[in-house]
Structure 1
């Protein structure tokens, strides 16, 4: 998902073909304990270092309840609020499928959780990354609209053979974006919100670049999908990120 090289050589079918039952009852006691451990330490770490709508979403969706959340419970709250629905998938889905899902306000959630020895880093997104990192922000109405718009941009870009443009925009905003709030540097992206190590790095390290966010810079800035990022794009505010992305048309995206 969202790697720098996007291929459309093979047909990928419909996004519905990638959906599987979550099988919540198959999560073990240790799986639930891993979720609780990850949740507790990440909430403590983030404190006020994440944009406030993220914490509002955590409360609204009752994600502090013990154990791995079930998608039906999440959807019972999320769907009436912003029209988004979570669905379970067995792992990474092709970018064509991922963007098609976003364009219909559907977010894929891994039906597995990392092991204890993988607490600090996991290349493939598990249910903690997806549910803790992404879903809280989808309860924010304007952000929910932005995420859908990126999905539609992605579908159009891939059809034009330029899927990497939308992938980079998504990466530098939804996944690893930073934003200022009340004058302070805050985490915006889900990849940062759900990562113990990289959340520290993005805000505190002198070894990374922090550049002003713009959609043009995002589209033209490569990224690493399998390692901590060497640079982060910082928006003036969450609202500014949302406004800039929503103003972008598919035609403009292809010409940046």
Structure 2
């Protein structure tokens, strides 16, 4: 959350945006395509090829269908406006370029209006395997294909509207956990198998393997209140992944007014990122191998 008092704008964000101006109201700017270098496009192509090659049989059907529908360029960083024509026709969503992480209220406002903020710049070659802050590959490759799916697109709009309310109620940490464990790091059932839909996984080569194949993490059936009581990891792979049955389950579970849920859960303790709680539907209890002992968020 960029509204946190300890947040510091990352150095790479400052460097990439030197000399550029964004709208102070919504943090948008025209996609500065002229700034992309040959090295930038080569980085995109490397990331795109290696993720696309490994996601068949790992990513959910809806993600792969969205990737195909949008015709996202494999060789060059895509033109946002070209994608917007296809995306708007599919679900009414559009992409807006932003300089990087943006304030929470601004982010929620965009989602509530079916606009998805996409960081315009791309990571540098030495950061192929990990970048803590989102770049255009994470935001566009990771998030945008599912915006072509009507139910997920409606869920993300509802999340934006819910975020604006949570901010007023002082409940953002709880709602942030929901985003983390669904939009960023969610798994979904597909027949008898598990598949990836979270953007933080599909844009990560190593976590795309770890989340499905490793014996280390917990895999637990999705339950709304359980998720928003659970802290998470930003410095390592996740200790727990929550699994939905389908996107309709996700949308239906999050449709009610969260106000009484926030009030109820505020009086209850949170769970650690690796905890198994009473009542969990445990698909796999992780063996905890390699778990870091740093703090959860």
TM-score by length of 1: 0.91
1:131 aligns to what?
A: 140
Do residues 211 (structure 1) and 220 (structure 2) align? yes
Q: 1:71 to 1:197 in 2, by over 3 A?
A: same
- 1:32 counterpart (17, 41, 48): 41
1:172-201: CA deviation from partner (whole Å, max 9, x where unpaired)? 111101111112110010111111111111
1:118-175: CA deviation from partner (whole Å, max 9, x where unpaired)? 1111101000000000000000011100000011111100111111111111111111
Contact 1:71 1:86 in 2 (8 A): yes
Q: CA RMSD of the aligned region, Å?
A: 1.8
1:11-69: CA deviation from partner (whole Å, max 9, x where unpaired)? xxx98431112111211111111111101100111112111110111111111442001
1:87 aligns to what?
A: 96
Contact 2:26 2:106 in 1 (8 A): no
The alignment partner of 1:18 has SS state of: coil
- 1:146 counterpart (155, 159, 162): 155
Deviation at 1:252, TM superposition (A): 4.0
- 2:259 counterpart (233, 251, 254): 251
Structure 2, unpaired ranges of 5+: 6-22, 266-297
Deviation at 1:248, TM superposition (A): 2.9
Contact 2:49 2:74 in 1 (8 A): no
1:110 aligns to what?
A: 119
Deviation at 1:238, TM superposition (A): 3.1
Structure 1 residue ranges, 4+ long, deviating more than 6 angstroms after superposition = none
Following superposition of structure 1 onto structure 2, how do residues 154-193 of structure 1 map, counting pairs within 5 Å? 154-193=163-202
In 2: Cα distance, 1:117 partner to 1:161 partner: 39
Following superposition of structure 1 onto structure 2, how do residues 56-67 of structure 1 map, counting pairs within 5 Å? 56-67=65-76
1:11 aligns to what?
A: none
In 2: Cα distance, 1:148 partner to 1:32 partner: 31
In 2: Cα distance, 1:41 partner to 1:207 partner: 24
TM-score by length of 2: 0.79
In 2: Cα distance, 1:36 partner to 1:112 partner: 14
Indicate the structure with greater helix content: 1
1:182-238: CA deviation from partner (whole Å, max 9, x where unpaired)? 121100101111111111111111111111111111111111233321111112233
1:43 aligns to what?
A: 52
Contact 2:98 2:120 in 1 (8 A): yes
Structure 1, unpaired ranges of 5+: 8-13
Structure with max Cα Rg: 2
Q: 1:253 to 1:195 in 2, by over 3 A?
A: farther
In 2: Cα distance, 1:52 partner to 1:202 partner: 17
Contact 1:6 1:164 in 2 (8 A): no
Deviation at 1:85, TM superposition (A): 1.2
Contact 2:44 2:137 in 1 (8 A): yes
